[in-house]
A and B are shown apart, each in its own frame.
Chain A
Amino acid sequence: MEKNFWITNEAIEINDVVNKVVRPEAGAVNTFIGTVREFTKGKRTLYLEYQAYASMAEKKLEEIGREIDQKWGDAKTAIAHRTGRLDISDIAVVIAVSTPHRKDAFEASRYAIERIKEMVPIWKKENWEDGTLWIGDQKETKSYKENTPIGEDHTND
Protein backbone atom coordinates (compact mmCIF):
# COMPACT_ATOMS: atom_id res chain seq x y z
CA MET A 1 0.00 0.00 0.00
CA GLU A 2 1.12 3.55 -0.69
CA LYS A 3 2.63 5.09 2.43
CA ASN A 4 1.89 8.80 2.87
CA PHE A 5 3.11 9.21 6.47
CA TRP A 6 6.54 8.05 7.46
CA ILE A 7 9.49 8.36 9.81
CA THR A 8 12.93 7.99 8.23
CA ASN A 9 16.54 7.98 9.29
CA GLU A 10 17.58 9.22 5.84
CA ALA A 11 17.49 12.68 4.30
CA ILE A 12 13.98 13.58 3.10
CA GLU A 13 13.56 14.30 -0.59
CA ILE A 14 10.99 17.10 -0.73
CA ASN A 15 9.57 15.92 -4.04
CA ASP A 16 8.94 12.44 -2.66
CA VAL A 17 6.46 14.02 -0.24
CA VAL A 18 4.97 16.48 -2.73
CA ASN A 19 4.43 13.78 -5.36
CA LYS A 20 2.23 11.84 -2.93
CA VAL A 21 -0.43 14.56 -3.03
CA VAL A 22 -0.31 15.80 -6.63
CA ARG A 23 -3.61 14.91 -8.33
CA PRO A 24 -5.96 16.24 -10.99
CA GLU A 25 -8.50 17.51 -8.44
CA ALA A 26 -5.91 19.78 -6.80
CA GLY A 27 -5.54 23.45 -7.63
CA ALA A 28 -3.02 24.00 -4.84
CA VAL A 29 -0.21 22.08 -3.20
CA ASN A 30 1.10 23.71 -0.05
CA THR A 31 4.30 22.51 1.57
CA PHE A 32 5.79 23.14 4.97
CA ILE A 33 9.48 22.38 5.41
CA GLY A 34 10.89 22.42 8.91
CA THR A 35 14.67 22.96 9.11
CA VAL A 36 17.28 23.05 11.86
CA ARG A 37 17.80 26.59 13.14
CA GLU A 38 21.25 27.67 14.29
CA PHE A 39 20.34 30.34 16.84
CA THR A 40 17.46 30.24 19.31
CA LYS A 41 17.23 33.28 21.56
CA GLY A 42 20.92 33.93 21.05
CA LYS A 43 21.99 30.39 21.88
CA ARG A 44 23.89 28.54 19.19
CA THR A 45 22.82 25.04 18.21
CA LEU A 46 25.61 22.82 16.85
CA TYR A 47 23.29 19.99 15.77
CA LEU A 48 20.08 18.26 16.79
CA GLU A 49 19.27 14.64 17.45
CA TYR A 50 15.72 13.50 16.75
CA GLN A 51 14.28 10.36 18.27
CA ALA A 52 10.85 8.88 17.51
CA TYR A 53 8.58 6.12 18.70
CA ALA A 54 8.41 5.37 15.01
CA SER A 55 5.51 2.92 14.79
CA MET A 56 3.25 5.08 16.93
CA ALA A 57 4.47 8.31 15.33
CA GLU A 58 3.48 7.06 11.87
CA LYS A 59 0.02 6.17 13.22
CA LYS A 60 -0.35 9.63 14.73
CA LEU A 61 0.75 11.32 11.50
CA GLU A 62 -1.94 9.28 9.72
CA GLU A 63 -4.40 10.47 12.33
CA ILE A 64 -3.49 14.09 11.51
CA GLY A 65 -4.21 13.27 7.87
CA ARG A 66 -7.65 11.98 8.85
CA GLU A 67 -8.31 15.10 10.94
CA ILE A 68 -7.47 17.24 7.92
CA ASP A 69 -9.86 15.17 5.78
CA GLN A 70 -12.61 15.82 8.28
CA LYS A 71 -11.93 19.53 8.64
CA TRP A 72 -11.27 20.51 5.04
CA GLY A 73 -13.04 17.79 3.10
CA ASP A 74 -11.24 17.25 -0.16
CA ALA A 75 -7.63 17.31 1.03
CA LYS A 76 -4.76 14.93 0.48
CA THR A 77 -1.88 14.98 2.97
CA ALA A 78 1.60 13.48 3.14
CA ILE A 79 4.12 13.94 5.95
CA ALA A 80 7.71 12.72 6.42
CA HIS A 81 9.75 13.29 9.57
CA ARG A 82 13.42 12.53 9.94
CA THR A 83 15.23 11.03 12.94
CA GLY A 84 18.88 10.80 13.93
CA ARG A 85 21.51 13.53 13.81
CA LEU A 86 20.61 16.67 11.85
CA ASP A 87 22.95 19.55 11.15
CA ILE A 88 22.06 23.22 10.70
CA SER A 89 19.61 23.75 7.80
CA ASP A 90 18.92 20.02 7.42
CA ILE A 91 15.28 19.20 6.81
CA ALA A 92 13.51 17.69 9.83
CA VAL A 93 9.97 17.53 8.50
CA VAL A 94 8.14 17.94 5.19
CA ILE A 95 4.37 18.34 4.98
CA ALA A 96 2.46 18.53 1.72
CA VAL A 97 -1.27 19.12 1.41
CA SER A 98 -3.22 19.37 -1.82
CA THR A 99 -6.73 20.81 -2.08
CA PRO A 100 -8.90 22.15 -4.88
CA HIS A 101 -8.36 25.75 -3.67
CA ARG A 102 -5.34 27.45 -2.07
CA LYS A 103 -6.92 28.68 1.17
CA ASP A 104 -7.56 25.18 2.44
CA ALA A 105 -4.07 23.97 1.53
CA PHE A 106 -2.44 26.81 3.49
CA GLU A 107 -4.64 26.27 6.51
CA ALA A 108 -4.35 22.51 6.54
CA SER A 109 -0.55 22.44 6.32
CA ARG A 110 -0.35 24.91 9.21
CA TYR A 111 -2.73 22.71 11.16
CA ALA A 112 -0.54 19.64 10.48
CA ILE A 113 2.66 21.14 11.89
CA GLU A 114 0.88 22.44 15.00
CA ARG A 115 -0.63 19.02 15.65
CA ILE A 116 2.77 17.34 15.20
CA LYS A 117 4.12 19.57 17.94
CA GLU A 118 1.26 18.58 20.23
CA MET A 119 0.89 14.86 19.97
CA VAL A 120 3.26 12.96 17.70
CA PRO A 121 5.88 11.03 19.72
CA ILE A 122 9.03 12.62 18.34
CA TRP A 123 11.70 14.38 20.40
CA LYS A 124 14.65 16.59 19.66
CA LYS A 125 17.80 16.87 21.69
CA GLU A 126 19.58 20.19 21.48
CA ASN A 127 23.35 19.99 21.29
CA TRP A 128 24.81 23.38 22.18
CA GLU A 129 28.40 24.45 22.61
CA ASP A 130 27.99 24.17 26.37
CA GLY A 131 25.64 21.24 26.86
CA THR A 132 22.68 19.15 25.73
CA LEU A 133 18.99 18.99 26.56
CA TRP A 134 15.97 17.00 25.44
CA ILE A 135 13.43 19.65 24.51
CA GLY A 136 9.77 19.34 25.45
CA ASP A 137 7.89 22.15 23.78
CA GLN A 138 4.72 21.66 25.74
CA LYS A 139 6.54 21.75 29.00
CA GLU A 140 7.04 25.47 28.81
CA THR A 141 3.93 26.48 26.92
CA LYS A 142 1.30 23.86 27.63
CA SER A 143 0.19 21.33 30.18
CA TYR A 144 -1.25 17.90 29.73
CA LYS A 145 -4.68 16.96 30.89
CA GLU A 146 -4.61 13.59 32.65
CA ASN A 147 -1.41 12.67 30.82
CA THR A 148 -3.07 12.49 27.41
CA PRO A 149 -2.53 15.01 24.63
CA ILE A 150 -4.17 18.35 24.89
CA GLY A 151 -6.65 19.43 22.26
CA GLU A 152 -6.29 21.67 19.28
CA ASP A 153 -4.79 24.73 20.89
CA HIS A 154 -2.40 26.30 18.42
CA THR A 155 0.33 28.39 19.91
CA ASN A 156 3.28 29.52 17.91
CA ASP A 157 6.71 28.55 19.12
Chain B
Amino acid sequence: MIDVLFFAELQEAVGQEKVSLQIEGITVKDLKTKWLAEYELDNIDDAMVAVNEEYAQEDTVLASGDVIAFIPPVSGG
Protein backbone atom coordinates (compact mmCIF):
# COMPACT_ATOMS: atom_id res chain seq x y z
CA MET B 1 0.00 0.00 0.00
CA ILE B 2 1.15 3.55 -0.69
CA ASP B 3 -0.09 6.85 0.70
CA VAL B 4 -0.54 9.81 -1.65
CA LEU B 5 -0.63 13.28 -0.11
CA PHE B 6 -2.13 16.38 -1.68
CA PHE B 7 -1.64 20.02 -0.73
CA ALA B 8 -3.04 23.45 -1.55
CA GLU B 9 -5.09 23.57 -4.75
CA LEU B 10 -4.61 19.84 -5.37
CA GLN B 11 -5.98 19.01 -1.93
CA GLU B 12 -9.07 21.07 -2.64
CA ALA B 13 -9.51 19.43 -6.04
CA VAL B 14 -9.21 15.91 -4.62
CA GLY B 15 -11.32 16.78 -1.59
CA GLN B 16 -8.99 15.04 0.87
CA GLU B 17 -5.45 15.26 2.19
CA LYS B 18 -4.53 11.64 1.66
CA VAL B 19 -5.46 8.74 -0.59
CA SER B 20 -4.22 5.22 0.19
CA LEU B 21 -3.83 2.84 -2.74
CA GLN B 22 -3.13 -0.91 -2.80
CA ILE B 23 -0.38 -0.69 -5.38
CA GLU B 24 3.39 -0.94 -5.60
CA GLY B 25 6.08 -1.37 -8.25
CA ILE B 26 4.70 1.39 -10.47
CA THR B 27 6.37 4.69 -11.31
CA VAL B 28 5.27 8.14 -10.18
CA LYS B 29 4.30 8.83 -13.77
CA ASP B 30 2.04 5.74 -13.84
CA LEU B 31 0.52 6.81 -10.56
CA LYS B 32 -0.41 10.14 -12.11
CA THR B 33 -1.63 8.95 -15.47
CA LYS B 34 -3.41 5.74 -14.45
CA TRP B 35 -4.35 5.80 -10.79
CA LEU B 36 -5.07 9.46 -10.24
CA ALA B 37 -6.71 10.14 -13.61
CA GLU B 38 -10.18 9.83 -12.07
CA TYR B 39 -9.60 13.00 -10.05
CA GLU B 40 -9.02 15.03 -13.22
CA LEU B 41 -6.27 17.13 -11.63
CA ASP B 42 -5.50 19.66 -14.34
CA ASN B 43 -2.55 21.14 -12.46
CA ILE B 44 -0.85 17.97 -11.29
CA ASP B 45 1.88 18.34 -13.92
CA ASP B 46 2.86 21.67 -12.37
CA ALA B 47 3.51 19.92 -9.07
CA MET B 48 6.81 18.64 -7.83
CA VAL B 49 6.88 15.12 -6.43
CA ALA B 50 8.32 13.97 -3.12
CA VAL B 51 8.77 10.34 -2.13
CA ASN B 52 9.26 9.84 1.60
CA GLU B 53 9.85 13.58 2.05
CA GLU B 54 12.59 13.91 -0.58
CA TYR B 55 12.06 15.40 -4.03
CA ALA B 56 11.96 12.64 -6.64
CA GLN B 57 11.75 12.17 -10.39
CA GLU B 58 8.76 10.86 -12.29
CA ASP B 59 10.49 7.58 -13.12
CA THR B 60 10.92 6.69 -9.43
CA VAL B 61 9.45 3.25 -8.76
CA LEU B 62 7.18 3.17 -5.73
CA ALA B 63 7.45 0.50 -3.05
CA SER B 64 4.89 -0.58 -0.50
CA GLY B 65 4.94 1.81 2.45
CA ASP B 66 6.11 4.79 0.42
CA VAL B 67 4.53 8.18 1.01
CA ILE B 68 4.17 10.19 -2.19
CA ALA B 69 3.38 13.88 -2.02
CA PHE B 70 2.36 16.14 -4.86
CA ILE B 71 3.76 19.59 -4.17
CA PRO B 72 2.26 22.47 -6.16
CA PRO B 73 4.47 25.52 -6.72
CA VAL B 74 5.37 26.66 -3.24
CA SER B 75 4.65 30.11 -1.83
CA GLY B 76 6.03 30.24 1.69
CA GLY B 77 7.75 33.22 3.22
Is there contact, CB below 8 Å, between A123 and B8?
yes
Query: A118 with B48: in contact, given A55-B53, A123-B7 (CB under 8 Å)?
Result: no
Q: Is A137 in the interface zone, CB < 8 Å from B? A: yes
B1-21 CB contact bits vs A (8 Å, 1 = yes)?
000010111011000000000
Number of residues from A at the complex interface, CB < 8 A: 34
Which one of A21-29, A38-46, A68-76, A146-154 is at the B interface?
A: A146-154
Say yes or no for B62: interface residue by CB 8 A criterion: no
* Residues of B close to A120: CB separation below 8 A: 74, 76
Q: A53-B5, A53-B69, A149-B55 are in contact. Are A123 and B49 (CB under 8 A)?
A: no
- Set of chain B residues within 8 Å of A138, measured between Cβ atoms: 73-74
- Using known A-B contacts A51-B8, A53-B69, A144-B48, determine if residue A122 contacts B58 with beta carbons closer than 8 Å: no
User: Does chain B have a CB within 8 A of A92?
Assistant: yes
A121: chain B residues within 8 A (beta carbon): 7, 50, 69, 71, 74, 76
List B contacts of A139 (CB < 8 A). 46, 73
Q: Which of B46, B55, B57, B76 contacts A50 (CB 8 A)?
A: B76
Check if B77 is an interface residue, CB within 8 A of chain A. Answer: yes
Report if A56-B48 is in contact (Cβ < 8 Å); known contacts: A93-B76, A123-B74: no
Cα A97 to Cα B48 in complex, Å, equals: 29
State in angstroms the CA–CA spacing of A56 and B68 once bound together: 12
The answer to whether A137 and B69 touch across the interface, beta carbons within 8 angstroms, is no
Q: Mark A46-60, 1 if CB is under 8 A from B, else 0.
A: 000011110111010
Taking a contact as CB atoms under 8 Å apart, the answer to whether A52 and B76 are in contact is yes
Residues 8-64 of B contacting A (Cβ, < 8 Å):
8-9, 11-12, 45-50, 53, 55-58
Q: Which 3 A-B pairs have the closest CB atoms?
A: A136-B73, A122-B76, A123-B8
Which B positions have Cβ atoms within 8 angstroms of A?
5, 7-9, 11-12, 45-50, 53, 55-58, 69, 71-77
What are 5 A-B residue pairs whose CB atoms fall within 8 Å in the complex? A55-B53, A59-B53, A116-B76, A125-B8, A134-B12
Query: A residues bordering B, Cβ < 8 Å?
Result: 34, 50-53, 55-57, 59, 81, 92-93, 113, 116-125, 134-139, 144, 146-149
